[in-house]
Chains A and B, each alone.
Chain A
Amino acid sequence: MSTTEGPTIELDGEVVAYEPGETLYQIATRARREVPTLCYDPRLEAFGGCRLCVVEVEGIRNPVASCTTQATPGMKVRSSTPALEGHRRTILELVASENRQIEVDPLSGHSSGEFAALARRYELRPGRFAGRKSGASRHDDDNPFILRDYDQCISCYRCVRVCAEREGDYAISVVNRGFATQISTEFGGLLKDSACTFCGQCVQTCPTGALADRKALRAVDLPEPIAKTRSVCTYCGVGCSVDIVTKGERVVGVQPAMDGPANLGALCIKGQFAFDFVQHDDRLKTPLVRRDGELVPASWDEALDRAAAGFRAVVDQHGPEALYAIASGRAPHEASYALQKLMRAGWGLNHIDNCSRA
C-alpha cells in the first residue's frame, strides 16, 4: 500500500494507510487485527461502552477505545499487548460473572454467539468474580416472538441503539444505572403495548442471547445441525436478503443478511417471524381433481391430463380466445415467464395478466 498519497498510522509496527475520519477500530479490522468487541455493530454509531476494543496509543497514558478514537497522522498504535489482553480478559470475566450462562443456542439470533466466542478465545476463568447482577428477565412478557431474558444482558445497548438508529422506533431504552440497569419499554410494560413493531433487529444484534428469537428456539431440541441458505424475503417488494435457517429438512427460522443490499440487516415482523407457513399442515401436498363435485387427490399425470383436456375442450368448442391466464406476483420469474410463454407460444394470444391490478 502506498504511504505517500494519504495519511498513515503505525499499527503494531506496520505502516497502514487510512481514510480521514476512520477510527482505529475500523483501520485495525481492515488490517486483519482481531480486536474484540461486544458493543460494536458496524451499522451503529460507535458507542465505546464495552471497553474491550481498547488499544495502546503512544503518548497517551491509558488505553483508548479504538471504536471511538479517530486516527490522526503518524499515530503509533498497538492492538494487542500482554497488558491489553489481560485487561480484556478481566473485563470479559466481570461480564461473565453476571450471566447465568455463556454458551447459548445459535438459534437465539444472528449475533448471539459473539460473547461465547470471546469467552472461549480468552479462556475465561469461571468464578473469578461474584456478586450483584444487573438486568432482570421479563418472564411476564408472553409475546411469541422476542424472548427478553435480561439476566443475560450485558448492557451493551445494541438493542436500544439499533431500535433508535436503524429502525427509528425508539421502543426501548435504558433505565437506572449500575447494577440497577434495565432495558425497558416506556413505563416498563410489555413489548406489544410499546412502540415495538417486532421487527427483530434487537434480537439479531444482541451478542449474548439475552434477546432471542422465540420462534426459532422452538426447534432447539431438533438433532440436526443448523444450516443457513441465503435467499430473499417472500413478502413485500423491498426484497430484503435473508438467511433461511434450517435443521435437516425443517425451516426453523429466518435471520437477516447483514450485507443485504435492500435491507442492511433489517427485517420486519413478517419477514422475520412469519416463515412457518412453508411447512404448515394445510399445504397442498398432492394434485387435486374434481370428481363428483369434490376435489380429491390425484397423481400428477392424472391432474395434468385433466388440466390439459379441459383447456383442449374449451379451445375445440370456443377457440383459444376463450382462454385466460393470471400470473402471480408472488412466484419467481420462471413461473411468470413460463405462463406467458404458454399463452403466447402455445395459443398465439396475449391473454395473460398478473395480480397487480387488484
Chain B
Amino acid sequence: MSNPLADMEKPDVIFCIGTNMTECHPVAATRLKRALAAGARMIVADPRRIRLAEIADLYLPIRVGSDVALLLAMAHVIEREGLVDQDFVAERTEGFAAFRDHVRAFTPEWAAAICGVPAADIEQAAIWYASAERGAIYYTLGITEHICGVDNVQSLSNLVLMTGHIGREGTGINPMRGQNNIQGAGDCGALPNNYPGFQPVDDPRNQEKFSKLWGREISAERGPTKVTALAGAGDRFRAFLIAGENTVVSDPDRAHCEHALRSLDHLVVIDIFPTETAMLADVVLPATSWAETDGVCTNTERRVQRLRAAVPPIGMAKPDWWIIAQLAKRLGFAGFDWTGPDQVFNELCSVSPIYAGLDWDRIDRGEYQWPVPSRDHPGTPILHEGSFPRGRGLFKQVTLRDPAEVVDADYPVWLTTGRRLESYHTRTQTGRAAGIDYLLPEEVLEVHPDDVAAWRLVDGEKARMSSPRGSVTIRIKATRRSPRGTVFCSFSFDDTPVNLLTGSGYDPITQTAELKVCPVRIEAI
C-alpha cells in the first residue's frame, strides 16, 4: 500500500476494484465503513454483488476481465471533463501528452458495451474520483490474477497520475496483501529478480555486493518464476524445496501441478501439516507454527512487526530458519551459524537498505513502516510524497486484451474464483479450527437464480462444472450475488478442487495465473 491503513478513514472518494475486502481483509474494511459513515463516497467495481457493492454509493458490475476497458474510459472522461491535475502532471509525471491522445478513442460508450455497465455510471465514477479532494484506490487479486494483471495495475496507476491522488494523506494506490507475511517474503528477497530489500539481481552493483558478502559468485541473471519452474519440473528442474505452501491445492491446473511435483527427483517440504503437497515429498520437515515461533512479519502497509512464541513447539518441530540453516551446513555452506531469529533478522537489516534503520529491538512495538533507511529515520507511512522511485511517474498506454479463454458454445459461463470470510486458502488452518464448519461446511457454486432455472439446475443439489482442463462436482447455491452468466466459488476445499479447472493463462510479465477468469460448462447430474 502506498498509504497506511489509518488513511482508509480519510478519503472523501474511495474506489475499490477487484477487492472483496469485507471477506478477505475484514478489519481493513471496517475503516472504509467508518469513512462512509463520516460522509465519504465509495465506488465499487466488481463482477459480483459483494458486501462492498451493497454499501457503495456507485456500483459498477463489470464483466470479469474487463477492468482495462473501464479504467481507460475513466481516464477518457477525466481528460475530456478537464479534471486532470495539471500541476501534478507537469511536476511529477512524464508521457502525459501521448497518453492523453491514446485515451481519446476509449469513450464510456465503448467501455459500456465491453464491461456491461452503463456509460453514465462510468462517467460518474470518473468524475467523482477525479474531483475528490482525497481519492484513494484499493485493489486486491481481482486486479492482478489476470493475464492482463500488469495492464490493470498500470491502468490504475494512470488514473492516480492524472489526478495527483498520491503522496498525500488519505490518497494512494493500495493493494491489499493477502497473506500475513507475503509482503515480508518479498522484503526478504524470496523473489527470482530481487535480493533482500528489492535490490535487483541484474544490477552489477548488487551482484558484487552480495557476492562479496556471501563469499561466492552469484548469478546476475534473474531466476525463473515459480510458474516457470513448475512447468519445467522433471525436466529442467529436478529438485524442489517448498516451504509452507500447499502448491497442489492453491495453484491453478491442479493435475498439471501434481504431475510436475511427482516427476521431480527430489522434493523436500517444510510445513506444519501433512498437506496434499507434503504427501508427495521425499522428505517432510516439521516447522514450528504461529504461536510457537519468534520472528518478524510485514503487513500490507509495510509495518514491520514482531511475532512472539506463546507456547513451546509441538513434538520435534523446529523454526524454519533453523531447518534451512541445518540443511545449509550439511551441504557445506558457510554463513548459516545463527543461534536465534534475532540474528537472522539483524543480518537482513544489515543487507537491506529499506531496513537499514531497524533491528530486532527497534521493531518491538511495531512502530516502523519501511523504508527506514537510517537509525534516525521515523519510517515512511506514506510513499511517493516528493518523487517516485524512478523519479517521474510514467503514463503507460495500455490496451484491452481478452482473457486467455473467453466463453464460447462449449464453455458458455464465466467462472471466477476467490475466498470466503470463514476459510483461509486451502483450509490447512481454518479447516482444523473448531466451529468453522458451523458456518461453512462445504464449498458451493454461487449462481444467479435465473441461471439456475435457465440451465435446469436445482438450488442445493450438486452439478458438474467443467473446463478444458477437468471437471468437479459442486453444490449449487442460487444467489443474486452472482450476475447472470457468471458463477463463483472458492478454491479452499480439497474435496471440491476447483483448481483442476483453472489455469487458462498467465500474465506475461509477472506470470500470475488468471485465476479470476475461467470459462466453464455447468450440467445437472
Please list the residues of chain A having a beta carbon within 8 angstroms of any beta carbon in chain B. Answer: 143-145, 165-168, 192, 197-199, 215, 227, 229-241, 244, 246, 249-251, 261-263, 266-271, 273-280, 282-290, 295, 300, 303-308, 310-314, 317-318, 321-346, 348-358
Contacts and interface: CB of A to CB of B under 8 A. Distances in A.
Contact of A326 (B186, B217, B241, B333): B241
B415 interface: no
A192 B438 contact: yes
A327 B278 CA distance: 14
14 contacts: A144-B435, A168-B33, A229-B310, A232-B307, A244-B291, A304-B330, A307-B282, A322-B238, A323-B241, A324-B229, A325-B241, A329-B180, A345-B328, A352-B189
B331 A283 contact: no
B250 A355 contact: yes
Interface of B: 5-6, 22, 24-30, 33-34, 36-37, 176-193, 195-196, 201, 210, 214-219, 221-227, 229, 236-245, 247, 250-252, 265-266, 268, 270-274, 278-279, 281-287, 289-293, 295-301, 303, 305-312, 314-321, 323-328, 330-331, 333-336, 338, 341, 344-345, 347-348, 366-367, 421-422, 424, 428-436, 438-439, 510-513, 515
B335 A341 contact: yes
B299 A262 contact: yes
A338 B27 contact: no
B250 A331 contact: no
The prevalent SS among residues of A at the interface is: mixed
A192 B215 CA distance: 59
Contact of B25 (A237, A317, A349): A237
A287 B186 contact: no
B26 A340 contact: no
Contacts of A334: 295-296, 319-321, 341, 344-345, 348
Nearest to A295: B284
A353 B223 contact: yes
Contacts of B327: 304, 307-308, 311, 342
Contacts of B323: 304
Given A290-B282, A313-B266, A326-B243, A350 B185 contact: no
Contacts of A317: 238
A274 B273 contact: no
A283 B272 contact: yes
Contacts of B30: 166-168, 266
A196 to B, nearest CB: 10
Contacts of B242: 325-326
Contacts of B29: 168
Contact of B236 (A262, A322, A327): A322
Given A332-B295, A337-B345, 14 more contacts: A234-B290, A234-B429, A244-B291, A261-B366, A288-B274, A310-B266, A311-B327, A328-B244, A330-B245, A332-B293, A333-B297, A338-B344, A350-B218, A358-B515
A351 B348 contact: no
Nearest to A218: B434
A337 B297 CA distance: 12
Nearest to A261: B366
Contact of B303 (A239, A249, A276): A239
B229 A237 contact: no
A197 B188 CA distance: 34
A278 B300 contact: no
B27 A267 contact: yes
B39 to A, nearest CB: 14
A267 B219 CA distance: 44
Nearest to B433: A274
Contact of B180 (A239, A286, A289, A345): A239
A276 B431 CA distance: 10
Contacts of B310: 227, 229, 231, 244, 246, 251
A270 B424 contact: yes
6 pairs of A and B residues whose beta carbons are closest in the complex: A285-B315, A239-B299, A332-B295, A328-B244, A168-B33, A237-B177
A331 B303 contact: no
B188 A336 contact: yes
A345 B324 contact: no
Contacts of A269: 26, 421-422, 436, 439
B333 A278 contact: no
Contacts of B192: 350-353
Given A262-B303, A273-B433, A284-B271, A236 B324 contact: no
Contact of B279 (A232, A295, A303, A339): A295
B299 A238 contact: yes
**Centre residue among A165, A312, A351 by max chain B CB count within 10 A:** A351
B24 A287 contact: no
Contacts of A270: 421-422, 424, 430
Contacts of A313: 265-266
A229 B307 CA distance: 9
A340 B184 CA distance: 12
A241 B306 CA distance: 9
Contact of B283 (A271, A277, A289, A330): A289
Nearest to A144: B435
A278 B223 contact: no
B190 A340 contact: yes
Contacts of A287: 283-286, 316
A237 B302 CA distance: 10
A265 to B, nearest CB: 10
Given A268-B26, A270-B422, A327-B243, A283 B184 contact: no
A323 B237 contact: yes
A314 B300 contact: no
A150 B323 CA distance: 50
B296 A332 contact: yes
Contacts of B324: 335, 338-339, 342
Contacts of B290: 231, 234, 278
B511 to A, nearest CB: 6
A350 B223 contact: yes
A346 B282 CA distance: 21
Contact of B179 (A165, A330, A344): A330
Contact of A333 (B229, B299, B345): B345
B243 A284 contact: no
B434 A308 contact: no
A296 to B, nearest CB: 10
Given A239-B300, A335-B324, A318 B238 contact: yes
A328 B295 CA distance: 14
Contacts of A279: 311, 314
Given A239-B297, A313-B265, A354-B182, A278 B284 contact: no
Contacts of B190: 327, 336-337, 339-340, 352-354
A199 to B, nearest CB: 7
Contacts of A303: 283-285
Given A168-B33, A284-B273, A325-B243, A241 B366 contact: yes
B285 A232 contact: no
Nearest to B265: A314
B321 A338 contact: yes
A345 B291 CA distance: 30
A326 B434 contact: no
B317 A283 contact: yes
A324 B331 CA distance: 15
Contacts of B344: 333-334, 337-338
A169 to B, nearest CB: 8
B130 to A, nearest CB: 27
A344 B286 contact: no
A286 B311 contact: no
Contact of B226 (A240, A276, A295, A357): A357
Contacts of B348: 333-334, 337
A283 B365 CA distance: 30
Given A231-B291, A326-B243, A238 B300 contact: yes
Contacts of B28: 238
Contact of B314 (A285, A300, A310): A285
B64 to A, nearest CB: 18
A351 B311 contact: no
